[in-house]
Structure 1
Amino acid sequence: MSITAAYDAQPSKTVDVGAYGVQDNVQHGDFVTENEERDLRRGLAQRHIQMIALAGAIGTGLFIGLGSSLQTGGPLGALLGYAFVGLIVCAVQFALGEVTALLPVTGSFVRHAEFLVDPALGFAVGWNIVYGNWLSIPAEISAICVLFQYWTDINSSLFIVIFIILTFVVGIAFVGIYGEVEFFFALLKILLVVGLIILGLCIDLGGVPGTPRIGFRYWSKPGPWVEHIATGSWGNFLGFWSVMINAVFSFAGVESIAMAAAETRNPRQNIPKACKRVFARVSLFYILTVLIVGMLVSSDDERLQDESGTAAQSPFVIAASAAGIKAIPSIVNAVVITSAWSSSNQALLAGTRVLYSLALKKQAPAIFLRTTSWGVPYMCVLLQTAFMFLAFMSLSSGALTVFYWMVDLVGCGVLISWSCVLVNHLRLLAAMKKQGIARTELPWHNKWTPYSSAIGLAACLLILLTNGFSVFTHGGWSASSFVSSYLDIPLILIAYLGWKYAKGTKFVALEDIPIRAALDEIRDNPETPEPMRKGWKGVVMKMLWE
């Protein structure tokens, strides 16, 4: 029996606190609903979840965007910036893992916000994610067209059509096929990152014939820091802060790991495990890569200013070209194309599952609850596919400007999503304390998360409010930069206050959040333990994704 049915069968345990109080929350799908159990299919295994998170976090920001961070903050500023954001990601991942283990629902932290905070917050954050993904897919497809221009002058409209079709096919197929596609591309990315790190060490240590040893030469001259906007120590700090803002967007995607929780096998076991391990792996890849890049390329190298958007902009390509290795640019360009397409696939999954979850809560039309016989919300996929055709705006310079203004509207959405994850977790902890429920009763928990979530939330809000600081400096004003940095904040507030006013929603009282009902559901319906793999295959699989 589903937890909704179990809870409805015990009316003495519900407390009606208004139009959108606890009782209404339970009846309209804060737990795994009958719709999810009946219409969706659990096609994602643990290895898929692990690799989907890696695929989302390792993308163009790592392969191409590091050059900008190195140029802005210097090798030490870039390293510290990515390390600091890595700690924030750790806080977000652990908070997400603890709440998802209790409530493994489609829509992840969007539904958690309704259950733990206020239905209006779930509405605002949910639609922010939906329209953000509507715009991010055509943006990724436009980027793919630019990347292909590195090799050919074929009309970009051909590549737009091809990748719209490919993305739609993956999105409408059984979710297990999506998992396999992302698994394959994630392996490609990981192999490329490992290969580039090894290649970078060989170049740096003089292991390539005809190339002198570099060592930490560029840390001495031009130096570990770069002055940004100001001079002296303040300029060095602003350089570091700009790197940290870039790093946030490089790590974007890790919060999507639980969006398809209701389509994941044993989600209470596999999603927390993925949250814990993905953080370590992603942080390791990024920090090692930033360190190697800072050793290979000088922060004042003019080639870092290349604005082509292709592999020519990658610091790894710059270093490999200087060492006379000709194949690296095309290899990097090819993998960056797969990264961009992988990002569009992940945006399609996240956007459609959040839209489906909003429809479950009657915050979107019920038509979006329709699913195929293999468990895919096809009306959500069709709507998002329609927005992919915005990629054709990239064929016109004037339309492209308008298009990127639209993309800029959701520029800080990742910080809002991370903040929502952390607020949800803090509310869960406060509710458990209020109700006298020990944290050890959670299916997965860590002793330091009460502190890491609070610190992580403060850091996210600080970065959110200061991420556009350069537009307020002398001569630094840019309307597009201001829009990308701040316009999403009033959009979220308008959506939140508008839904709250229209539906009369209230903050869910801590004592009324039915945590005990969720714990009883876990006790009464335990997941089947994951089988233990033995032998050398078990060792390899444990190293990779267990």
Structure 2
Amino acid sequence: MSTEPLLAESRRRLQRLSSSSSSPSSDMGYENGMVHEDVLDAYRDDHDADLVTATEARSLSRGLGQRHLSMIAIAGAVGTGLFLGLGGAIQTAGPLGALLGYAIVGLIVCAVTFALGEVAALLPVTGSFVRHAEFLVDPALGFAVGWNLVYGAALSIPSELTAICVLFTFWTEDVHPAAYIMSFITLTFIVGIAFVRVFGEVEFVFALLKVLLIVFLIIFDIIVAAGGIPGIPATGFKYWRDPGPFVEHIASGNWGRFLGFWSVLASAVFSFAGVESIAMPAAELRNPARAIPRACKRVFIRVLLFYMLAIFVVGLLVASDDDRLNDSSGTAAQSPFVIAASAAGISAIPSVVNAVVITSAWSSSNQTLLSGTRVLYALALKGQAPRVFLRTTSWGTPYACVLFYTAFMFLSFLSLDSSALTVFWYLVDLTAASVLVSWITVLVNHIRLKLAVTKQGIPVSRLPWHNWWSYYSSVLALIMCIIILLTGGFEVFTAGNWSASGFISAYLDIPLVLGAYLIFKYIKKTRIASLKSIPLDDAIIQAEQYPDDPQEKSDGWKRAVSWIWD
């Protein structure tokens, strides 16, 4: 099917809407880095806010750059799961079982980030894959996933603040937890309401601290494993031989070793949680068509490298049957890095790890607040949330959305009462599977984009970013995500292991999302968009007409460290 008539009509529409000025920027509806509102209003009217809207261009500020986006992605993916959670994976599956589990999920993350990058480079809208789902699949899917994310974020932020209180008990229990809660509610609100660049700089610093610590710990643990510390014998692959590379879990023999490996997949998914939110503030990015693909490519390599090396060296230094892995304090005491370093007698490492884990928890709450507010703002743009959430400050922050989430932060005070805390964690468990739901949505969006491009006869070279193999990787990753989603709670169905909370966290999010999808579909009578009807020509023209600014290279001392994000 030829797309020339469609493209010609879209160009004529743009020319009619553009200024009569003879300058190229005016002809394209683009001047001084800002999109003319008449052009964007036309897109909004034509596509019901599927493309970048006048509201976004007018009300939000493009305050995030390449280095912010790259480091935000690192900050989101390298968190408490890496510093505290690897020990549990080794205990359950053994050093090789845990390594294979994280490697498989790492490949899934690769597919997800590339799929998200390709779609977001074409559609750099606020709300990212939530809006992509409405454009490429069905408005009902965007509604269901969007409100699932809003609900999850509203409960995830207070849960992170509660975790911070637990982490501080590693040093002292003399300070009342309410003081920590109130302090971090205030700090989180300040970062959330400030200019988006403030958030970017805070996350940049936190991510840099994480990178420096994990690099130090990996190098230090390799030295310890090799016998480089005087008086400490080399361990080598000692623990791979005894107790062995795999651990039997629930069952015995090879089946039990396989179940141990499989149980790591679900925990590994949540360790990587956060990478899917990389494009949430796309409308607030400078040069999104370049920044998003770069962040997806480079950040994935660094995150995967950190995780693979980290779990490898921890498996060399900590035995899977080490009793210290049973520590459930939630502080640095349970970190396998701390356990590994204890043999070297360096007393400062536990405190350093605990301090960075605190920044990780707060960083996670900041990033969840950013993602949640942008999704809520995007839902309001589509008329699926009250329009009051479109209100922004003069510096471009959706303050009504921030105030909405700030109110939920006070749920963290439930941690001061044991019975209330039990109810609170049940509420949090309702969306524990939302990470996989989000990944599935990202992959479905990408597959639909690739199929629509083929159906409409549009050359893939016209997409801002594309890879020939990404369609196949998305299909394989989608299959794996569905399998992990359906089997992630298999343990509760085995003899003697039933747990209501385990069942809820593994499966209840599925009917919640399906219910929201079907109810919205029934009320609004929405339909799954046909591949031919998806208006890709307008999206491509918008991307072509508004190119990125020339790239600025780091120079001087910045070049020595800019490899982390550049």
TM-score (norm: length of structure 2): 0.92
Q: Structure 1 residue 445 and structure 2 residue 466: aligned?
A: yes
Instruction: Determine if the alignment matches structure 1 residue 483 to structure 2 residue 510.
Output: no
User: Quick one: distance in 1 between partners of 2:410 and 2:330?
Assistant: 21
**Which of residues 403, 413, 418 in structure 2 aligns to 1:397?**
418
Partner of 1:117: 137
Write the distance in 1 (CA, Å) between the matches of 2:43 and 2:305.
48
Whether the 8 Å contact between 1:59 and 1:336 is mirrored in structure 2 is: yes
Q: Is 1:30 aligned with 2:50?
A: yes
Q: 1:376 aligns with which of 389, 394, 397?
A: 397
Listed as ranges, the gaps of 5+ residues in structure 2 are 1-33
Q: Which amino acid aligns with 1:34?
A: A
Q: Is 1:253 paired with 2:303? A: no
Secondary structure class of the residue paired with 2:479: helix
Question: Which residue does 1:408 correspond to in 2?
Answer: 429
Q: Does 1:183 align with 2:204?
A: yes
Per-residue CA distance 1:381-410 (angstroms, 9 max, x = gap): 000000000000111111111111011000
Structure 2 counterpart of 1:315, one-letter code = P
Look up the match of 1:107.
Answer: 127
> Pairwise mapping of residues 111-190 of structure 1 onto structure 2 (< 5 A)?
111-153=131-173, 154-190=175-211
CA contact (8 A) 2:40 2:53 kept: no
How far off is 1:532 after superposition?
Answer: 3.3
Partners of 2:440 and 2:478 within 8 A in 1: yes
Where does residue 66 of structure 2 map in the other structure?
46
1:424 to 445, 451, 456: 445
State the shift of 1:209 in Å: 2.1
Q: 1:6 to 1:244 in 2, by over 3 A?
A: same
- Partner Cα separation in structure 1 for residue 83 and residue 520 of structure 2: 40
Q: What is the distance in 2 between the residues matched to 1:488 and 1:295?
A: 37
CA contact under 8 A between 1:4 and 1:27: conserved in structure 2? no
Measure how far apart 1:170 and its partner are.
0.2
Could you tell me which amino acid in structure 2 is paired with residue 516 of structure 1? Answer: D
TM-fit CA distance, 1:10: 9.7
Q: 1:131-173 CA deviation, whole Å, 9 max, x = no partner? A: 1010001000000000001111111010000000000000000
TM superposition shift of 1:538? 3.8
Conserved? CA contact 2:79–2:361, under 8 Å: yes
Q: Is the 8 A contact 2:81 2:270 kept in 1?
A: yes
How big is the shift at 1:9? 5.9
- The alpha carbon displacement at 1:322 in A equals 2.5
1:210 corresponds, among 231, 237, 251, to 231
Secondary structure class of the residue paired with 2:278: helix
Matched-pair contact (CA < 8 Å) for 2:41–2:54 = no
Do the aligned residues in 1 keep the contact of 2:491 with 2:498 (CA within 8 Å)?
yes
What's 2:322 paired with? 301
| 1:90-114 C-alpha deviation (Å, 9 max, x unpaired) | 0000000100010000000000000
Aligned to 2:518: 497
Partners of 1:3 and 1:517 within 8 A in 2 = no
- The structural deviation recorded for 1:456 is 0.5
SS in 1 for 2:532: helix
Residues 10 and 205 of structure 1, relative CA distance in 2, 3 Å threshold: closer
> What is the match of residue 82 of structure 1?
102
Change (3 A) 1:321 1:99: same
Partner residue in 2 for 1:456: 477
Give the equivalent residue in structure 2 for 1:19.
Answer: none
Of 281-290 and 509-518, more deviation after overlay is shown by 509-518
Q: Letter of the 2:139 partner, please give it.
A: P
Higher mean C-alpha deviation, range 486-495 or range 499-508: 499-508
Tell me if structure 2 keeps the 8 A contact 1:2–1:32: no
Partner residue in 2 for 1:512: 533
Unaligned runs of 5+ in 1: 12-24
- 1:195-206 aligned at under 5 Å gives the runs 195-206=216-227
487, 491, 501: which one aligns with 1:470? 491
Report the Cα offset of residue 206 of structure 1.
1.4
Kindly indicate whether the alpha-carbon contact (under 8 Å) linking 2:41 and 2:53 is maintained by their aligned counterparts in 1.
no
One-letter amino acid of the counterpart of residue 86, structure 1 = G
How far the C-alpha of 1:477 sits from its partner, in A, is 0.4
Report if aligned partners of 2:92, 2:247 keep a CA contact under 8 Å in 1. yes
Counterpart for residue 22 of structure 2 = none
- Given that 1:4 and 1:31 are in contact with CA atoms closer than 8 Å, whether structure 2 keeps it comes out as no
Deviation at 1:8, TM superposition (A): 7.5
Which one-letter code corresponds to 1:515 in the other structure?
Answer: L
| 1:175 alignment partner AA | V
Residue 544 of structure 1 and its aligned partner are, at CA, apart by 1.8
Work out which of the residue numbers 45, 58, 63 in structure 1 matches 2:83. Answer: 63
Q: Does the aligned pair in 1 maintain the 2:239–2:245 contact within 8 Å?
A: yes
- What is the CA-CA distance between 1:245 and the residue it aligns to? 1.1
- 1:40 corresponds to which letter in structure 2? L
Partner of residue 262, structure 1: 283
**Corresponding position of 1:354:** 375
Which residue pairs with 1:17 in the alignment?
none
> More deviation in 211-220 or 198-207?
198-207
Distance 1:26 1:211, change over 3 A: farther
The equivalent of 2:263 in structure 1 is 242
The aligned residue for residue 22 of structure 1 is none
One-letter amino acid matched to 2:349: I
Report deviation, 1:4: 8.8
Distance (Å, rounded) in 1 between the aligned partners of 2:560 and 2:346: 35
Find the aligned partners of 1:418 and 1:3 in 2 and give their Cα distance. Answer: 34
User: Which position in structure 1 is the counterpart of 2:347?
Assistant: 326
Shift of 1:321: 1.6
Could you tell which deviates more after superposition, 437-446 or 80-89?
437-446
CA distance in 2, matches of 1:173, 1:450: 39
Find the aligned partners of 1:8 and 1:156 in 2 and give their Cα distance: 49
Partner AA of 1:452 in structure 2: S
Deviates more, 1:202-211 or 1:295-304: 202-211
Q: Give, as a single letter, the amino acid of the residue that structure 1 aligns with 2:251.
A: A
Q: Distance in 1 between matches of 2:406 and 2:324?
A: 37
* CA apart distance, 1:540: 4.1
| CA distances 1:318-341 after superposition (whole Å, capped 9, x unpaired) | 111222111111111000000000
Which is further off, 120-129 or 519-528?
519-528
Supply the distance in 1 between the matched residues of 2:326 and 2:116 (Cα, whole angstroms).
Answer: 37
Residue 73 of structure 1 is aligned with which of 93, 103, 108? Answer: 93
